[in-house]
Amino acid sequence: MNQENRLGIVTEASLDKGVEVRLDIPVSVEDMVVGRYVTIEGQKRRFFGMITDVSLGVTDPRLTVTPPDVADPFIAEVLTGTSTFGTIHVSPQLTIGGDAGSLLEGPQPVKTIPGHFSAVNLASERDMELVFGKEDPQRFNIGNPLDMELKLCLNLEEFVKRSNGIFGKSGTGKTFLTRILLIGMLQKSQAVNLIFDMHNEYGWAGTSESGPPVKALKQLFQSKVAVFTLDEENSRRRGVSTDFVVKIGYDEIEPEDIVLLRQTLNLTEPAVEAVYQLRRRLGKSWLQNSLDIEGTEDTRSLLDELSIHESTFQNLKRGLATIRRLPFIEPHAPVDAVKRILDHLDRGISVVLEFGRYRDITAYVLVANMLARRIYAQYQERTEKAMAEGTAPPNPLVITIEEAHKFLNPEVASQTIFGTIAREMRKYNVSLLVIDQRPSGIDSEVMSQMGTKITCLLDNERDIDSVLAGVSGKSELKSVLARLAPKQQALIFGHAVPMPVAFQPVAYDTKFYASLTSPGRSGVEQVEKDIEELWE
């Protein structure tokens, strides 16, 4: 046993409430930090857990009522560890062996507790590797557990098997964290990505609060990423070389796309119903024909035939006029954007769709829902065909969306393609990566289907409860989450990790850029050369 890492001994334990540990005399309670990992040496098993609380204890309650005079250092030293002591509360999560058979089985869920006076130690690097693994072709270093100089490696192959979420209030580092995960997927998994980039952060370059622009996916993976744009002029002004300019035709917009925009376009319920009637009556050109309809006798006859009230039709026309004013909307798109996106995804090239100046939620919701719905339909058809013929299915696809509550709120989640994808759990080789600062706005059923959740600091009680809903040990995790730093700290839990982990994401700097290259050719000199090339 490594005495340097020893913290204390178990004094109380409950499978439901956790383990109380009395700290040894040399151990300072001020060095104990919520979120750190420890091991408990039971007689037959080794337990792996997280510190979830730190407290002080006394052997005689009178010491708290009439504290002794500790001005004399000798008296303070005599009392410390005898009459007064520190305690930590540990939430055991896994057993990590104790014999050869257990080690071969790997970490297992906790089903019992350690005995009285079991020794408690800080987790070592070997312990962390037993639980989380180490960097390999599937695992990617996403940062360090809080207050530990050890790598936290995430299995990206497992991560992309389900839909996942990144949450946190504004300014906590969600964008940087998302970039790191997308880079990991590009490097370590077989999945391709379709990223609806509302704020132009993931294509060529992204913003940084404390310095110059940082490199985004296209700069780091030239051959694996294509940048599409809705705003060619904006891309040119920012010095971004784009692969395709997306145009949307009136005839590509369907009633399902308008339903999502009901609140944004201020449409009434009858106006939304009228959309379906007009689509059935006027065909694919329903939107343009509806906008061209004037107040003639024929118009009144048509509305009467469809049982659409005049005021309802005018409400719908005002909403549709907002869509027509979007510069990337044309009567007929010259090139099918969906086909171009699928061409790239089929070749293993991820696509970032930048919105340029069109960051209005109307444009974002319309385009993301319309393209994702049609792409998903193609994936569904291809996957079913591959199953019938016994051939390879299409590349696994991860669709990344921001402002997720606009697509997945309880009112519309059942009607959107994103709600369907989340509930079907990659049935057709498609999953989601959702980014949001208001997780309480997302439908609870959709949240329950999220495989892995990564949350930065949240200060709204409803948001915290939404993220942690259904998680074992919710109260302990709530305590850890509440103590995260305002920036660049996060809690990850769910399918892709064996237990919850509070961590600090890897620094997004030149050292990180260099780690994405292959430095083995000529050592340090080659790393420095690669860094210079990345910054050219």
Residue by residue, DSSP assigns 303-315 as: HHHHT--HHHHHH
Reported as a single tens digit per residue, the pLDDT across 320-350 is 989 988 999 988 889 999 999 999 999 999 9
Residue 441: per-residue pLDDT:
93
- Asked whether residue 78 falls in the same domain as residue 208, the answer is no
- pLDDT exceeds cutoff 50 at 536: no
Supply the pLDDT for residue 527.
44
Give the range of the structural domain holding residue 514, as residue numbers without chain letter.
Answer: 510-536
Which tokens is 446 given? 């959709």
- Among 52-61, 162-171, 459-468, the range scoring the smallest mean pLDDT is 52-61
Give the position of tokens 């994808």.
421
Residues 177 and 67 in one domain: no
Same domain flag for 186 and 294: no
pLDDT, residue 99, reads 54
Whether residues 70 and 190 fall in one domain: no
Q: Are residues 225 and 290 in the same domain?
A: no
Query: Is residue 53 situated within a structural domain?
Result: yes
Could you tell me if 275 and 347 lie in one domain?
Answer: no
Indicate whether 348 and 428 sit together in one domain.
yes
Domain assignment present for 265: yes
Max mean pLDDT among 52-66, 226-240, 283-297 falls in: 226-240
End residue of a domain, out of 271, 295, 329: 329
Q: What is the pLDDT of residues 417-455, one digit of tens each?
A: 999 998 887 788 999 999 999 999 999 999 988 999 999
So what's the pLDDT on residue 227? 96
Digit-coded pLDDT (tens) for 80-94: 767 788 999 999 989
Domain final residue pick, 402, 427, 452: 452
| Same-domain pairing of 376 and 442 | yes
CA distances from 64 to 26, 60, 349, 509 (A): 22, 8, 65, 49
Q: Based on the domain organization, do 232 and 256 belong to the same domain?
A: no
Residues 178, 232 within the same domain: yes
Domain count, the chain: 4
pLDDT in tens, 106-135: 788 888 999 999 999 999 888 888 888 888
How far apart (Å, rounded) are the C-alpha atoms in residues 493 and 253?
38
180-210 pLDDT, tens digit per residue, is 999 999 988 779 999 999 999 999 888 877 6
Tell me whether residue 465 is in a domain.
no
The structure tokens 């009144």 sit at 300
Instruction: Assess whether pLDDT exceeds 60 at residue 372.
Output: yes
Residue 526 pLDDT level (bands cut at 50, 70, 90): very low
Q: Is residue 150 one of the residues assigned to a domain?
A: no
So what's the pLDDT on residue 480?
A: 86
Choose one of 294, 310, 329: the last residue of a domain. Answer: 329
Shared-domain flag, residues 112 and 168: no
pLDDT, tens digit (0-9, with 9 covering 90-100), for 131-167: 888 888 888 999 998 878 888 889 888 899 899 999 9
User: What's the one-letter identity of residue 158?
Assistant: E
Mean pLDDT in residue range 219-227:
93
Tell me: pLDDT of 26 over 70.
Answer: yes
In the predicted structure, residue 535 carries a pLDDT above the cut 80: no
Say if residue 13 is in the same domain as residue 104: yes
**What distances in angstroms separate CA 120 from CA 14, 48, 49, 110, 423, one per listed residue?**
16, 10, 10, 16, 42
340 burial level (CB within 10 Å; 0-12, 13-18, 19+): middle
Instruction: Give a yes or no: residue 474 inside a domain.
Output: no
- Count CB neighbours of 297 within 10 A: 7
Report the alpha-carbon distance of residue 196 to residue 351 in Å, rounded. 9
Residues 6+ away with beta carbon under 8 Å from 406: 260, 361, 364, 365
| % of the chain at pLDDT higher than 90 | 43
Within-domain flag for 288: yes
Residue where the block lists tokens 């409950």: 14
Instruction: Supply the mean pLDDT for the chain.
Output: 86
Residue 9 confidence (pLDDT): 94
- The alpha carbons of the chain give a radius of gyration, in whole angstroms, of 28
Helix orientation angle between 361-389 and 337-346, rounded to the nearest 10 degrees: 50
Is 498 domain-assigned?
no
> Which one, of 225, 152, 137, lies nearest residue 189 by Cα?
137
pLDDT digits (tens, 9 = 90+) for 57-106: 888 787 777 777 667 676 666 667 677 889 999 999 899 876 544 555 67
Residue 489 lies in a domain: no
pLDDT in the model for residue 531: 46
pTM: 0.85
- Amino acid identity of residue 339, one-letter, is K
